[in-house]
Amino acid sequence: MRFGQREAEVLPRWRAGDRFASSTLSSTLAASPIAGVSAILAGLAASWIATYLLGGARQVVPHFYYVPILFAAVRFGPVAALVTALASGVLAGPLTYLDVAGQTPQETARWVTRTVFFTTIGVAMAALVRPSLPSIGAGIRHRRDARALREALAAGELFVRYQPIVWLNSGRLHSVEALVRWNHPQRGELGPGEFLDAAEASGAIRDLDAFVFEQACRQAVRWKGLAEHRGAAPPRVTVNLSRANLEAPDLIGQLRDTLQSTGADPSQICLEVTESLLIDDLEVSAARLAGLKSLGVRLAIDDFGNGYSSLSALDHFPIDVLKVDRAFLRRATGSTDASNLIGGIALLARSLDVTLIAEGVETLDQRDALIYTGYEIAQGFLYARPLLTDDIDELIDTGHIPETADPTRPRRHTSVLLPDAHSPHQ
């Protein structure tokens, strides 16, 4: 699916008038402050000139002034509407002849009454449109971001970082998670939190996920070669899947094509789906996951425990990995109940025969709590931040985590070593 196509599909078939009103409102709101003020000044000047050229206020009622007044109301709100209306009152009053040819001034009562109309309508308009402005503004931002994202993808500004996932007992590499980044020309490196919403709202997420999946497959092939050369087990590469992708009818075919074209070994790839995407309809979700499993990849439930308790649902799903949300871990240290909870999840994982990964390990206390409650694998800043491919190469090649991972952390906690050829590769 192309960018923007989904937008066009979901928009109702508006009448031409509605479309015109909506696009006018959108472009008004989208104007920058400088462009907005310039448009108001230009509107006032054009209104004065038009009234003058048409022979003065006797020949033409100066309705032109409503254009800059309404623009100011929508773009800047009631205060700007009031100021523009007062300026219009003066321009259309003492500064405009009643009759240009005769150079007759206007009566005060006439232009004061008109000024009252201008201000009342301007302020009322601002009050009326204000409540709907945030949602219109958000829509504009999303469209703008989606367009920028499409251009970024085409310009090669998106790239993937890989965060190591490690064995707790040895600090050796278990797998890596592919996490998308945007190398923005003005704003620097952006995390997904800054653009995923726009990508999801516009449908651009499908292209984004396809890009990340292909990159991850290519790296998986490279890392397999590197690791085998070193006599180590190749790290698995896990990739996040969005709702739009999970629900796309052509997803399986696309993934299969990418696996084939890159030559990636499906068993080295793991797809992560957040728990919240699976609770709507258990049967449908289970069928979708079974379709993915048929590719030969592994499946993980991401952010497990994040607001939903679908423990019973887990049994329905053909999953291999359970990633426990970092919110659990944050609460686990210092609270017996919370630490019982993460222990309970460990028991659950064992009974379901799935691999358990704790997300967001930041401190040694958290690591100790995990080991104590039976966890074996973890991901978190304590071990490494999301890294560049070269850093992962180096990890596989030399067994040392590069300084770039987190220079603020004491060296003794940064040991991520070679993939362990002797560990059972879960």
CA distances for 42 relative to 144, 212, 262, 421, angstroms: 26, 47, 57, 73
Q: Which listed residue (362, 394, 397, 406) binds ligand C2E by CB under 6 A?
A: 362
Contact 388, 183 (CB under 8 A): no
Cβ proximity to ligand C2E: between 148 and 327 the closer is 327
Nearest approach, Cβ of residue 325 and ligand C2E (Å): 8
- Give the x-and-dash track for 342-361 against ligand C2E (CB under 6 A): -----------------xxx
What's the rounded Cα separation, in Å, for the pair 100 and 48? 12
Binding flag, residue 391, Mg ion (CB under 5 A):
no
Q: Does 305 bind ligand C2E (CB under 6 A)?
A: no
Is 420 one of the binding residues for Mg ion (CB under 5 A)?
A: no
Which residue in 82, 87, 212, 356 binds ligand C2E (CB under 6 A)? 212
From 145, 207, 209, 275, residue interacting with ligand C2E (rule: CB under 6 A): 209
Cβ proximity to ligand C2E: between 179 and 269 the closer is 179
Determine the residue with CB nearest ligand C2E.
Answer: 380
At which residue do the structure tokens 């479309």 appear? 19
Q: Which residues contact 402 (CB under 8 A, 6 or more apart)?
A: 387, 391, 394, 395
Residue 191 interacts with which of ligand C2E, Mg ion, none, CB < 5 to 8 Å by class: ligand C2E
* Alpha-carbon gap, residue 426 to 410, rounded angstroms: 29
- The answer to whether 381 contacts ligand C2E (rule: CB under 6 A) is yes
Per-residue tokens: 25: 């409102």
Q: Which is nearer to ligand C2E, 302 or 376 (CB)?
A: 302
Question: Binder to ligand C2E among 380, 391, 414, 416 (CB under 6 A)?
Answer: 380
From the list 106, 163, 240, 310, which residue makes contact with Mg ion (rule: CB under 5 A)?
240
Task: State the residue for tokens 């790296």.
Answer: 219
Tell me which of 43, 266, 386, 402 binds ligand C2E, using CB under 6 A.
Answer: 386
Decide if residue 389 touches ligand C2E (CB under 6 A). no
Q: What share of the chain is helix, strand, coil (3-state, %, to 5)?
A: 55, 15, 30
Nearer to Mg ion, 145 or 272 (CB): 272
Separation of alpha carbons 22 and 207, rounded Å: 28
Q: Which is nearer to ligand C2E, 209 or 420 (CB)?
A: 209
Question: Taking the chain, what is the end-to-end CA distance rounded to the nearest angstrom?
Answer: 35
Interaction partner, residue 380 (Mg ion, ligand C2E, none; CB < 5-8 Å by kind): ligand C2E
DSSP assignments along 107-165, one per residue: PHHHHHHHHHHHHHHHHHHHHHHGGGHHHHHHHHHHHHHHHHHHHHHHTT-EEEEEEEE
Among the candidate windows 225-233, 255-263, 376-384, 391-399, which touches ligand C2E by CB under 6 A?
Answer: 376-384
379, 387, 402, 420: which one binds ligand C2E (CB under 6 A)? 379
Sequence length of the chain is 426
Residue ranges of alpha helices (H) inside 353-388 are 364-372
Does position 303 bind ligand C2E by CB under 6 A?
A: yes
Contacts of 339 (CB under 8 A, 6+ apart): 332, 333, 369, 372, 373
- Window 326-345: residues binding ligand C2E (CB under 6 A): 326
- Binding ligand C2E (rule: CB under 6 A), the pick from 51, 96, 119, 242 is 242
